[in-house]
Amino acid sequence: MGRDGVRAERIHVDGIVQGVGFRPFVYRLAVRHGLEGWVRNSTAGVDIFAQGPPAAVEAFVRALQREAPPLAEVQAVRRWAVPPAEVQGGFRIVTSASAGGRTWVSPDAATCPDCLRELFDPADRRYRYPFINCTHCGPRFSIIRRLPYDRPHTTMARFPMCAACEVEYHDPADRRFHAQPNACPACGPHVRLEAPARLRRVVADVQPDDIARAAALLRRGAILAVKGLGGFHLACDATQAEAVARLRARKTRPHKPFAVMMRDLAMVRRYCEVNEQAAALLTSPQAPIVLLPRREGTDLAPNLAPGLDTLGVMLPYTPLHHLLLHDAGVPLVMTSGNRQDEPMARTHAEARAALRPLVEGFLWHDRPIHNRVDDSVWMATAVGAFPLRRSRGYAPRPVRLGLAAPEPVLALGSEMKNTFCLLVGEEAFLSQHIGEMQQAATWRFFVESVRRFEALFGARPAVLAHDLHPGFTLTATEALAEVPGAARARRVGVQHHHAHLAALLAEHRHPGPALGLTFDGTGFGPDGTVWGGEVLLAERAGYRRLASLRLFRLPGNEAAIRHPIRIAIGLLRETYGEALPDLPPLAVLDAVFLRTVQWQAARGLNAPLTSSCGRLFDAVAALLGLVTEVTYEGQAAMRLETAARAAPLPEGTPYPVVWEAVAEEGPFAPTLRLDWRPMLVHLVDDIRRGEAAEAIAGRFHAWLAAAAEEVAVRLSRETGVRTVGLSGGCFVNRVLLETLVPRLRARGLEVLLHRQVPPTDGGLALGQAWVAARKMLETSP
Ligand SMILES: [Zn+2]
Ligand SMILES: [Zn+2]
Ligand SMILES: [Zn+2]
């Protein structure tokens, strides 16, 4: 055969290209373009040899990127010309053992439209089979034990494929070619309903299977534990207030909102307002929970999200969920199956121990979960969407940085909403949501996950990046003693709010310098105070603290976070002295309690000083009578934001903004402090005049936005830096973001907002890793 007019190329594709149907895609593409050659997995990506007419090769390479399958993420295509070769059999998929190099692990993906069609097609051999999947969808990270991603290395190893599944698995033209979790009713996992005999009798004649019977029990008001993809859910009918109340009582969770799963987008639209951005998120392969504005006058139970005008909603993301929601016909509460603040149950033994007292029954299945992974949560705003929890569907997909760490970095993350980050080269592998580190069980989950990440990505940390909080670092040191590499790693401490700002720079690949408004709950300050409302300038690997909130006391420390009226009393005392103004929320307090808190505030006894912006929100919510006891993080601020949305927001600020120039001493002393006292005086007057809490909540938001705008513009002028990043937990606030961001842009500033990691402490690890990498780059020759 003549080789004139034939071009031959070797092509290497980098990114998430294994376990996502990439080789069959390449095969079909090559056949379509009449090329001969081969494709195979390599240690880091996919290798291709292709030859044919130059125009066809060109079109083929272009399509590699443009038409890649839904779960693939092509990072780079490298190509070089090679001499043409004799190839037998047109184009072939060559299997090759991976040499165990670093490849990306695909996150879990929601059921694809093709599988969904088959799931509900009575003629299909997988009709109503709750584990249907293909190379475009299904479990990945949650079932993988080690690389390379092959069935024996997953929790599917115990299910040998039947002949029919084998044929699909080996047919390059099939959608299930090399789909590692491929299964069918004859060979794959199954579900089983476990419930007391009296309940089983009630639904005994419900057809056709245990999922239909579970749905029938839910319709009758039962609470069930449902084993899902990366853990267990607690499920009940979201339209039955009594069932929701029972779940709240059993879980000791009086107020925290419950997420709800709805059958399809049409159902979501009946209950919530869904804009284009939210619809895209809901229906994406990641299928996260999205916080949506709730419609009024629906049949949803009012106690799903007490006091809030939003609801966290997700669509079914496994075939099991699709069947359950289809059969139930109503929205279902689907909240994480755990004891308060502990990680989700993973094994059947854990689930039994933790969830037995909470439920009437279990919907089990026999595919083991290897990596537990909670549902992700997103928020959509007029200025863009961002994650509040980056977990299922995203982990362990890396965030690519604009710099490469000379050696691997392990960033330990935060004490609350923990995620950690393993930075290898340019790739920041963020863990799934780990959780609240005050719990011993969470520490075990953390250590186990760190070990697994090190093994999966073949990296041992040379550097540990961590928060400055001494308690956290101490416990981390003990826990990490068992983790390979961690004991000998060098330590880099990163200030909490600097890490927030750095996370923004990292995800935008921004080299800095940048100003950062980091409005947050609390974080350890190196000057001995508790930081939280900070304006920083990030430069190279370091930062300067330019402005902050005027300090105030937290009388009772931890108790003040639970009972924010304590913070309000501290603020009032600082503003009015001993004679506190007459206000309704103070009038109902016990006289001894009031005196004690005043005394704590005056003496500074068990009343640390803070510049926390989050605690200011708490105090205002308490003064307006919106909260008395806080039972979940962010509750007061969310109530205040909901109130602010109920009344028109004032133009400009109705309360005075006073940034005071200060001459404090020390390396971390700001030059400006936002004096909140003039605001408080106006706010107290409004309360005394009997103005509505909604109107006052709006004025407080308007004041904070005006204060933020003023300081950003002023400091930008003084420093010549035109980039302003917004991070920290207080920016999980649509009112604040949608007011502030357009104004900053109108002043000619470039605004950085989170897009890939949460603005809360869930994004902290990325910032810590980035700072550590910058430090290494600056000190290395
Ligand atoms: Zn599929
Ligand atoms: Zn089968
Ligand atoms: Zn924080």
Q: What is the CATH number of the domain that holds 423?
A: 3.30.420.360
Do residues 92 and 173 make contact, with C-beta atoms less than 8 angstroms apart? no
Read off the CATH number of the domain in which 61 is found: 3.30.70.100
pLDDT in tens, 283-336: 999 999 999 999 999 999 999 999 999 999 999 999 999 999 999 999 999 999
**Does 196 lie in the same domain as 290?**
yes
**Does 326 lie in the same domain as 224?**
yes
Read off the CATH number of the domain in which 336 is found: 3.90.870.10
Strand partners, 385: 380
**Ligand nearest, relative to CA of residue 175:** 1
**Does 305 lie in the same domain as 204?**
yes
Taking the centre of ligand 3 as the mean of its atom positions, its distance from the CA of residue 391, in whole angstroms, is: 18
- Residue 508: inside a domain, yes or no? no
- Residue 490: inside a domain, yes or no? yes
Taking the centre of ligand 3 as the mean of its atom positions, its distance from the CA of residue 430, in whole angstroms, is: 17
pLDDT in tens, 719-747: 999 999 999 999 999 999 999 999 999 99
φ and ψ at 575, to 5 degrees?
-95, -40
List the alpha helices (DSSP H) in 563-653: 565-576, 584-587, 591-603, 613-623, 635-645
**Does 489 lie in the same domain as 403?**
yes
Taking the centre of ligand 2 as the mean of its atom positions, its distance from the CA of residue 91, in whole angstroms, is: 28
**Does 359 lie in the same domain as 265?**
yes
**Does 338 lie in the same domain as 218?**
yes
Mark the residues whose beta carbon lies below 5 A from ion ligand 2. 162, 165, 184, 186-187
Taking the centre of ligand 1 as the mean of its atom positions, its distance from the CA of residue 290, in whole angstroms, is: 23
Taking the centre of ligand 1 as the mean of its atom positions, its distance from the CA of residue 210, in whole angstroms, is: 23
Task: Check whether 1 has a pLDDT greater than 80.
Answer: no
- Residue 200: inside a domain, yes or no? yes
3-state secondary structure of 675: strand
- Residue 279, token pair as written in the block: 């619809």
Do residues 467 and 415 make contact, with C-beta atoms less than 8 angstroms apart? yes
Taking the centre of ligand 2 as the mean of its atom positions, its distance from the CA of residue 268, in whole angstroms, is: 34
**Does 494 lie in the same domain as 404?**
yes
The predicted pLDDT at position 99 comes to 44
How many domains is the chain partitioned into structurally? 3
- Residue 616: inside a domain, yes or no? no
Q: How far is CA 736 from CA 645, 725, 757, 776, in A?
A: 11, 14, 19, 36
- Residue 175: inside a domain, yes or no? no
The predicted pLDDT at position 2 comes to 43
Taking the centre of ligand 2 as the mean of its atom positions, its distance from the CA of residue 159, in whole angstroms, is: 9
Taking the centre of ligand 1 as the mean of its atom positions, its distance from the CA of residue 377, in whole angstroms, is: 23
Taking the centre of ligand 1 as the mean of its atom positions, its distance from the CA of residue 137, in whole angstroms, is: 4
**Does 294 lie in the same domain as 424?**
no
Q: Which residue has the higher pLDDT, 96 or 188?
A: 188
Task: Check whether 421 has a pLDDT greater than 60.
Answer: yes
Instruction: Give CA 109 to chain center in angstroms.
Output: 15
CB-count exposure of residue 779 (10 Å: 0-12, 13-18, 19+): exposed
Average pLDDT of every residue of the chain: 94
Residue 310, H or E segment: strand 310-314
Dist CA 134 CA 132 (whole Å): 7
**Ligand nearest, relative to CA of residue 167:** 2
Domain boundary among 59, 93, 127: 93
**Does 420 lie in the same domain as 333?**
no
Share of the chain above pLDDT 90, in %: 86
* Domain limits for position 311: 191-365
Taking the centre of ligand 2 as the mean of its atom positions, its distance from the CA of residue 270, in whole angstroms, is: 38
**Ligand nearest, relative to CA of residue 138:** 1
**Ligand nearest, relative to CA of residue 519:** 3
Do residues 143 and 369 make contact, with C-beta atoms less than 8 angstroms apart? yes
Residue 708, H or E segment: helix 693-719
Taking the centre of ligand 1 as the mean of its atom positions, its distance from the CA of residue 173, in whole angstroms, is: 15
**Does 326 lie in the same domain as 278?**
yes
3-state per-residue secondary structure call for 13-28? EEEECCCCCHHHHHHH
- Residue 289: inside a domain, yes or no? yes
**Does 414 lie in the same domain as 358?**
no
3-state secondary structure of 541: coil
Domain boundary among 60, 93, 126: 93
Edge-to-edge strand order for the sheet containing 332-336? 191-194, 361-365, 224-227, 232-237, 332-336, 260-261, 310-314, 289-293, 377-381, 384-389
Residue 312, H or E segment: strand 310-314
**Does 447 lie in the same domain as 359?**
no
- Residue 723: inside a domain, yes or no? no
Domain boundary among 68, 93, 118: 93
- Residue 465: inside a domain, yes or no? yes
CB-count exposure of residue 303 (10 Å: 0-12, 13-18, 19+): middle
**Ligand nearest, relative to CA of residue 183:** 2
* Mean pLDDT on 95-100: 54
Give the amino acid at 438: Q
Mark the residues whose beta carbon lies below 5 A from ion ligand 1. 112, 115, 134, 136-137
Structure confidence at residue 239 as a pLDDT band (50, 70, 90)? very high
